[in-house]
Amino acid sequence: MNRIYLDNAATTPLDAVVIDEMVNVMKSHYGNPSSIHAQGREVRTLIEKARKTVAGLLNATPAEIFFTSGGTEADNTAIRCGIAAYHIKHAITSKIEHHAVEHTLTMLLQQGVIDKLSFVDIDEKGNVDLNHLEQLLENNERSFVSLMHANNELGTLTDMEKVGDICEKYNAIYHCDTVQTMGHYVHDVRKLKAHFIVCAAHKLHGPKGVGFLFVNHTIKISPMIFGGAQERNMRGGTENVYGIVGLAKALEIAYAEMDAHQQHIQELKSYMIEQLTSEIPDLYFNGEIEPAKSLYTVLNVSFPAMEMSDMLLFNLDINGISASGGSACSSGSNIGSHVLNGISADPNRPSVRFSFSKYTTKEELDFVVQKVKDIVSQNVIA
Protein backbone atom coordinates (compact mmCIF):
# COMPACT_ATOMS: atom_id res chain seq x y z
CA MET A 1 0.00 0.00 0.00
CA ASN A 2 1.29 3.42 -0.95
CA ARG A 3 0.84 5.54 2.14
CA ILE A 4 -0.31 9.15 2.03
CA TYR A 5 1.59 11.41 4.40
CA LEU A 6 -0.34 14.39 5.77
CA ASP A 7 1.54 14.94 9.01
CA ASN A 8 4.13 17.43 7.81
CA ALA A 9 3.60 19.73 10.79
CA ALA A 10 5.07 16.92 12.90
CA THR A 11 8.01 16.31 10.59
CA THR A 12 8.80 16.43 6.89
CA PRO A 13 10.57 13.97 4.58
CA LEU A 14 14.16 14.84 3.79
CA ASP A 15 14.80 16.62 0.51
CA ALA A 16 17.01 14.48 -1.76
CA VAL A 17 19.40 17.39 -2.31
CA VAL A 18 19.78 17.77 1.46
CA ILE A 19 20.55 14.07 1.80
CA ASP A 20 23.25 14.29 -0.88
CA GLU A 21 24.80 17.31 0.81
CA MET A 22 24.92 15.56 4.19
CA VAL A 23 26.23 12.27 2.81
CA ASN A 24 29.09 14.07 1.11
CA VAL A 25 30.10 15.60 4.43
CA MET A 26 29.75 12.27 6.25
CA LYS A 27 32.02 10.57 3.74
CA SER A 28 34.70 13.21 3.40
CA HIS A 29 34.76 15.42 6.51
CA TYR A 30 35.17 13.67 9.85
CA GLY A 31 37.45 16.02 11.77
CA ASN A 32 36.41 17.61 15.06
CA PRO A 33 35.61 21.27 14.32
CA SER A 34 37.35 22.30 17.53
CA SER A 35 40.65 20.74 16.44
CA ILE A 36 43.29 23.09 15.12
CA HIS A 37 44.70 20.71 12.47
CA ALA A 38 43.68 20.82 8.80
CA GLN A 39 40.90 18.25 9.10
CA GLY A 40 39.38 20.12 12.00
CA ARG A 41 39.68 23.47 10.25
CA GLU A 42 37.92 22.24 7.11
CA VAL A 43 34.95 21.06 9.19
CA ARG A 44 34.89 24.34 11.10
CA THR A 45 34.70 26.07 7.72
CA LEU A 46 31.61 24.02 6.82
CA ILE A 47 29.86 25.11 10.02
CA GLU A 48 30.69 28.76 9.52
CA LYS A 49 29.60 28.60 5.89
CA ALA A 50 26.27 27.17 7.03
CA ARG A 51 25.95 29.88 9.68
CA LYS A 52 26.60 32.55 7.07
CA THR A 53 23.96 31.03 4.78
CA VAL A 54 21.31 31.00 7.52
CA ALA A 55 22.19 34.53 8.62
CA GLY A 56 22.00 35.83 5.07
CA LEU A 57 18.54 34.39 4.51
CA LEU A 58 17.25 35.99 7.73
CA ASN A 59 19.03 39.33 7.18
CA ALA A 60 20.92 38.60 10.40
CA THR A 61 24.62 38.59 11.15
CA PRO A 62 26.43 35.25 11.59
CA ALA A 63 27.17 36.23 15.20
CA GLU A 64 23.41 36.15 15.90
CA ILE A 65 22.92 32.51 14.82
CA PHE A 66 23.54 29.66 17.28
CA PHE A 67 23.02 26.05 16.24
CA THR A 68 21.09 23.80 18.63
CA SER A 69 19.64 20.29 18.76
CA GLY A 70 16.28 21.61 17.56
CA GLY A 71 13.36 23.88 18.37
CA THR A 72 12.81 22.69 21.94
CA GLU A 73 16.36 23.45 23.00
CA ALA A 74 16.25 26.78 21.19
CA ASP A 75 12.99 27.74 22.94
CA ASN A 76 14.34 26.67 26.32
CA THR A 77 17.56 28.61 25.84
CA ALA A 78 15.74 31.77 24.79
CA ILE A 79 13.27 31.63 27.67
CA ARG A 80 15.48 30.48 30.52
CA CYS A 81 18.56 32.45 29.58
CA GLY A 82 16.68 35.56 28.45
CA ILE A 83 14.77 35.77 31.71
CA ALA A 84 17.89 35.10 33.78
CA ALA A 85 20.04 37.65 31.95
CA TYR A 86 17.66 40.53 32.62
CA HIS A 87 16.30 39.37 36.01
CA ILE A 88 12.78 39.41 34.64
CA LYS A 89 9.98 38.55 37.06
CA HIS A 90 6.94 38.74 34.78
CA ALA A 91 6.38 36.57 31.71
CA ILE A 92 3.51 36.67 29.22
CA THR A 93 2.43 33.86 26.91
CA SER A 94 -0.78 32.18 25.70
CA LYS A 95 -2.49 28.95 26.67
CA ILE A 96 -2.03 27.49 23.19
CA GLU A 97 1.76 27.72 22.93
CA HIS A 98 3.88 24.66 22.27
CA HIS A 99 4.77 22.75 25.45
CA ALA A 100 8.43 23.70 24.96
CA VAL A 101 7.29 27.21 25.86
CA GLU A 102 4.35 26.61 28.19
CA HIS A 103 6.06 23.98 30.35
CA THR A 104 9.30 25.94 30.57
CA LEU A 105 7.56 29.09 31.79
CA THR A 106 5.41 27.11 34.23
CA MET A 107 8.55 25.50 35.66
CA LEU A 108 10.22 28.90 36.10
CA LEU A 109 7.14 30.13 37.97
CA GLN A 110 7.11 27.06 40.23
CA GLN A 111 10.81 27.49 40.97
CA GLY A 112 10.35 31.15 41.86
CA VAL A 113 12.54 32.40 39.02
CA ILE A 114 9.61 34.53 37.87
CA ASP A 115 6.92 35.89 40.18
CA LYS A 116 4.08 36.14 37.69
CA LEU A 117 2.99 34.32 34.54
CA SER A 118 0.23 36.02 32.56
CA PHE A 119 -1.80 34.53 29.72
CA VAL A 120 -2.92 36.86 26.95
CA ASP A 121 -6.50 36.44 25.80
CA ILE A 122 -7.15 34.48 22.62
CA ASP A 123 -10.37 34.13 20.66
CA GLU A 124 -12.12 31.00 19.42
CA LYS A 125 -9.88 30.94 16.33
CA GLY A 126 -6.65 31.18 18.29
CA ASN A 127 -6.00 34.85 17.53
CA VAL A 128 -4.02 36.78 20.12
CA ASP A 129 -5.76 39.84 21.62
CA LEU A 130 -3.09 42.48 21.06
CA ASN A 131 -4.99 45.06 23.14
CA HIS A 132 -4.89 42.69 26.10
CA LEU A 133 -1.18 42.11 25.50
CA GLU A 134 -0.60 45.83 25.78
CA GLN A 135 -2.66 45.97 28.97
CA LEU A 136 -0.54 43.20 30.50
CA LEU A 137 2.63 45.12 29.66
CA GLU A 138 1.42 48.53 30.86
CA ASN A 139 1.42 47.92 34.59
CA ASN A 140 4.48 45.77 35.04
CA GLU A 141 8.23 46.07 35.14
CA ARG A 142 10.15 44.80 32.13
CA SER A 143 8.43 41.63 30.91
CA PHE A 144 9.30 38.60 28.81
CA VAL A 145 6.80 37.89 26.01
CA SER A 146 6.66 34.50 24.26
CA LEU A 147 4.08 34.20 21.47
CA MET A 148 4.43 31.84 18.52
CA HIS A 149 4.21 32.90 14.89
CA ALA A 150 1.83 30.11 13.82
CA ASN A 151 0.10 27.68 16.10
CA ASN A 152 1.33 24.17 15.41
CA GLU A 153 -2.13 22.59 15.70
CA LEU A 154 -4.46 25.28 14.36
CA GLY A 155 -2.24 27.09 11.89
CA THR A 156 -3.52 30.48 13.08
CA LEU A 157 -0.92 33.21 12.43
CA THR A 158 0.06 35.98 14.83
CA ASP A 159 1.36 39.25 13.40
CA MET A 160 4.99 39.22 14.53
CA GLU A 161 5.63 42.80 13.51
CA LYS A 162 2.71 44.13 15.56
CA VAL A 163 3.76 42.09 18.60
CA GLY A 164 7.32 43.36 18.13
CA ASP A 165 6.13 46.96 18.00
CA ILE A 166 4.17 46.53 21.24
CA CYS A 167 7.09 44.86 22.98
CA GLU A 168 9.43 47.61 21.84
CA LYS A 169 7.02 50.24 23.21
CA TYR A 170 7.19 48.68 26.68
CA ASN A 171 10.84 47.56 26.53
CA ALA A 172 9.82 43.90 26.75
CA ILE A 173 11.98 40.97 25.67
CA TYR A 174 10.22 39.23 22.78
CA HIS A 175 10.67 35.54 21.97
CA CYS A 176 8.76 34.05 19.03
CA ASP A 177 8.55 30.31 18.36
CA THR A 178 8.88 30.23 14.57
CA VAL A 179 9.35 26.46 14.25
CA GLN A 180 6.26 25.96 12.07
CA THR A 181 6.86 28.96 9.80
CA MET A 182 10.61 28.92 9.27
CA GLY A 183 11.22 28.19 5.61
CA HIS A 184 7.58 28.86 4.75
CA TYR A 185 7.65 32.65 5.18
CA VAL A 186 10.39 35.25 4.88
CA HIS A 187 11.75 36.21 8.28
CA ASP A 188 13.62 39.50 8.12
CA VAL A 189 14.93 39.89 11.65
CA ARG A 190 15.76 43.54 11.12
CA LYS A 191 12.05 44.26 10.59
CA LEU A 192 10.55 41.87 13.14
CA LYS A 193 11.98 43.41 16.32
CA ALA A 194 12.12 39.97 17.92
CA HIS A 195 14.94 39.24 20.34
CA PHE A 196 14.70 35.48 19.75
CA ILE A 197 13.35 33.30 16.94
CA VAL A 198 13.92 29.58 16.46
CA CYS A 199 14.13 26.81 13.87
CA ALA A 200 13.91 23.02 13.74
CA ALA A 201 15.33 21.73 10.46
CA HIS A 202 13.05 18.69 10.24
CA LYS A 203 10.02 20.94 9.74
CA LEU A 204 11.37 22.15 6.37
CA HIS A 205 12.68 18.96 4.76
CA GLY A 206 15.92 19.01 6.72
CA PRO A 207 17.34 16.51 9.24
CA LYS A 208 16.06 15.84 12.74
CA GLY A 209 18.15 16.72 15.77
CA VAL A 210 19.33 20.14 14.64
CA GLY A 211 18.00 23.69 14.69
CA PHE A 212 19.10 27.19 15.51
CA LEU A 213 18.39 30.08 17.80
CA PHE A 214 18.58 33.66 16.58
CA VAL A 215 19.68 36.01 19.36
CA ASN A 216 19.34 39.68 18.48
CA HIS A 217 22.65 41.51 18.82
CA THR A 218 20.98 44.09 21.08
CA ILE A 219 20.83 41.63 24.00
CA LYS A 220 23.30 39.31 25.69
CA ILE A 221 22.61 35.98 27.38
CA SER A 222 24.68 33.29 29.05
CA PRO A 223 24.73 29.64 27.93
CA MET A 224 22.22 27.03 29.05
CA ILE A 225 24.52 24.10 28.21
CA PHE A 226 28.09 24.17 29.52
CA GLY A 227 31.03 21.96 28.68
CA GLY A 228 33.02 23.63 25.92
CA ALA A 229 33.61 26.75 23.91
CA GLN A 230 31.51 25.66 20.94
CA GLU A 231 29.10 28.11 19.31
CA ARG A 232 31.27 31.01 20.44
CA ASN A 233 30.97 29.95 24.09
CA MET A 234 27.18 29.79 23.88
CA ARG A 235 26.58 26.03 23.72
CA GLY A 236 28.90 23.32 24.96
CA GLY A 237 29.17 20.10 22.99
CA THR A 238 30.66 18.98 19.70
CA GLU A 239 28.56 20.34 16.87
CA ASN A 240 26.23 18.19 14.77
CA VAL A 241 28.17 19.01 11.62
CA TYR A 242 26.13 16.89 9.19
CA GLY A 243 22.89 18.24 10.62
CA ILE A 244 24.06 21.84 10.47
CA VAL A 245 25.07 21.48 6.82
CA GLY A 246 21.70 19.84 6.07
CA LEU A 247 19.80 22.58 7.89
CA ALA A 248 21.49 25.33 5.89
CA LYS A 249 20.85 23.53 2.59
CA ALA A 250 17.20 22.86 3.48
CA LEU A 251 16.62 26.51 4.41
CA GLU A 252 18.39 27.67 1.26
CA ILE A 253 16.12 25.46 -0.87
CA ALA A 254 13.03 26.59 1.05
CA TYR A 255 13.77 30.26 0.38
CA ALA A 256 14.59 29.66 -3.28
CA GLU A 257 11.35 27.72 -3.88
CA MET A 258 9.11 29.50 -1.35
CA ASP A 259 6.72 31.31 -3.71
CA ALA A 260 6.05 28.26 -5.85
CA HIS A 261 5.56 25.95 -2.88
CA GLN A 262 3.31 28.41 -1.09
CA GLN A 263 1.05 28.69 -4.13
CA HIS A 264 0.99 24.90 -4.63
CA ILE A 265 0.25 24.06 -1.01
CA GLN A 266 -2.31 26.85 -0.50
CA GLU A 267 -4.22 25.60 -3.55
CA LEU A 268 -4.24 22.10 -2.08
CA LYS A 269 -5.43 23.34 1.30
CA SER A 270 -8.23 25.39 -0.28
CA TYR A 271 -9.22 22.40 -2.40
CA MET A 272 -9.40 20.13 0.64
CA ILE A 273 -11.52 22.66 2.52
CA GLU A 274 -13.96 22.76 -0.41
CA GLN A 275 -14.10 18.97 -0.78
CA LEU A 276 -14.54 18.25 2.93
CA THR A 277 -17.25 20.89 3.22
CA SER A 278 -19.18 19.53 0.24
CA GLU A 279 -18.82 15.84 1.13
CA ILE A 280 -19.21 15.75 4.93
CA PRO A 281 -22.04 17.60 6.69
CA ASP A 282 -21.74 19.20 10.12
CA LEU A 283 -17.97 19.63 10.27
CA TYR A 284 -16.06 22.76 11.14
CA PHE A 285 -12.49 23.98 10.95
CA ASN A 286 -10.47 24.87 14.03
CA GLY A 287 -8.42 28.03 13.83
CA GLU A 288 -8.28 30.50 10.99
CA ILE A 289 -8.55 29.23 7.42
CA GLU A 290 -8.32 32.52 5.52
CA PRO A 291 -4.97 32.50 3.67
CA ALA A 292 -3.82 35.81 5.13
CA LYS A 293 -4.46 34.61 8.68
CA SER A 294 -3.50 30.96 8.49
CA LEU A 295 -0.38 28.89 7.95
CA TYR A 296 -0.94 27.34 4.54
CA THR A 297 0.51 23.95 5.51
CA VAL A 298 -1.97 23.19 8.32
CA LEU A 299 -5.69 22.37 8.35
CA ASN A 300 -7.42 21.29 11.58
CA VAL A 301 -10.86 19.74 11.19
CA SER A 302 -13.50 18.76 13.75
CA PHE A 303 -15.82 16.05 12.45
CA PRO A 304 -19.32 15.11 13.67
CA ALA A 305 -19.55 13.13 16.89
CA MET A 306 -18.94 9.46 16.14
CA GLU A 307 -19.05 6.06 17.75
CA MET A 308 -15.54 5.40 19.04
CA SER A 309 -14.41 8.81 17.81
CA ASP A 310 -10.98 8.22 19.31
CA MET A 311 -10.49 5.55 16.64
CA LEU A 312 -10.69 7.97 13.71
CA LEU A 313 -6.94 8.38 13.45
CA PHE A 314 -6.48 4.63 13.73
CA ASN A 315 -8.95 4.07 10.91
CA LEU A 316 -7.14 6.59 8.76
CA ASP A 317 -3.87 4.85 9.54
CA ILE A 318 -5.06 1.40 8.52
CA ASN A 319 -6.29 2.97 5.27
CA GLY A 320 -2.79 4.21 4.56
CA ILE A 321 -3.24 7.83 5.68
CA SER A 322 -0.87 9.46 8.16
CA ALA A 323 -2.31 12.43 10.04
CA SER A 324 -2.49 13.51 13.67
CA GLY A 325 -4.98 14.57 16.29
CA GLY A 326 -3.20 17.76 17.20
CA SER A 327 0.47 18.21 18.00
CA ALA A 328 2.73 15.19 17.47
CA CYS A 329 4.41 16.07 20.76
CA SER A 330 1.14 15.14 22.50
CA SER A 331 0.43 11.95 20.56
CA GLY A 332 -0.49 9.02 22.80
CA SER A 333 -1.72 11.32 25.55
CA ASN A 334 -5.22 10.71 26.87
CA ILE A 335 -5.68 14.23 28.20
CA GLY A 336 -6.54 15.70 24.84
CA SER A 337 -5.06 18.65 23.03
CA HIS A 338 -4.29 21.63 25.27
CA VAL A 339 -4.62 23.83 22.17
CA LEU A 340 -8.15 22.66 21.34
CA ASN A 341 -9.03 22.90 25.01
CA GLY A 342 -7.62 26.42 25.00
CA ILE A 343 -10.04 27.56 22.29
CA SER A 344 -12.95 25.60 23.80
CA ALA A 345 -13.37 23.20 20.89
CA ASP A 346 -16.15 20.64 21.26
CA PRO A 347 -14.58 17.70 23.15
CA ASN A 348 -17.17 15.30 21.72
CA ARG A 349 -15.98 15.79 18.16
CA PRO A 350 -12.90 14.00 16.84
CA SER A 351 -10.38 16.45 15.42
CA VAL A 352 -7.69 15.76 12.86
CA ARG A 353 -4.78 17.93 11.84
CA PHE A 354 -3.92 17.46 8.18
CA SER A 355 -0.64 19.11 7.22
CA PHE A 356 0.74 19.40 3.72
CA SER A 357 4.10 19.75 2.00
CA LYS A 358 5.55 20.41 -1.44
CA TYR A 359 5.26 16.66 -2.10
CA THR A 360 1.49 16.48 -1.46
CA THR A 361 -0.73 15.95 -4.51
CA LYS A 362 -4.36 16.66 -5.35
CA GLU A 363 -4.92 12.99 -6.14
CA GLU A 364 -3.84 12.10 -2.61
CA LEU A 365 -6.34 14.55 -1.16
CA ASP A 366 -9.15 13.07 -3.26
CA PHE A 367 -8.39 9.66 -1.78
CA VAL A 368 -8.23 11.06 1.76
CA VAL A 369 -11.53 12.93 1.49
CA GLN A 370 -13.29 9.80 0.21
CA LYS A 371 -11.88 7.64 3.01
CA VAL A 372 -12.79 10.21 5.66
CA LYS A 373 -16.29 10.44 4.22
CA ASP A 374 -16.69 6.65 4.37
CA ILE A 375 -15.41 6.40 7.95
CA VAL A 376 -17.56 9.27 9.24
CA SER A 377 -20.73 8.11 7.50
CA GLN A 378 -20.35 4.60 8.94
CA ASN A 379 -19.73 5.76 12.49
CA VAL A 380 -21.55 9.05 12.98
CA ILE A 381 -23.96 9.20 15.90
CA ALA A 382 -27.49 9.67 14.54
Kindly list the catalytic residues.
Answer: 329
Greatest Cα-to-Cα distance within the chain, rounded to the nearest angstrom = 73
Number of Cβ atoms within 10 Å of the Cβ of 70: 24
Query: Distance between CA atoms of 50 and 244, rounded to whole angstroms?
Result: 7
Query: Distance between CA atoms of 262 and 269, rounded to whole angstroms?
Result: 10
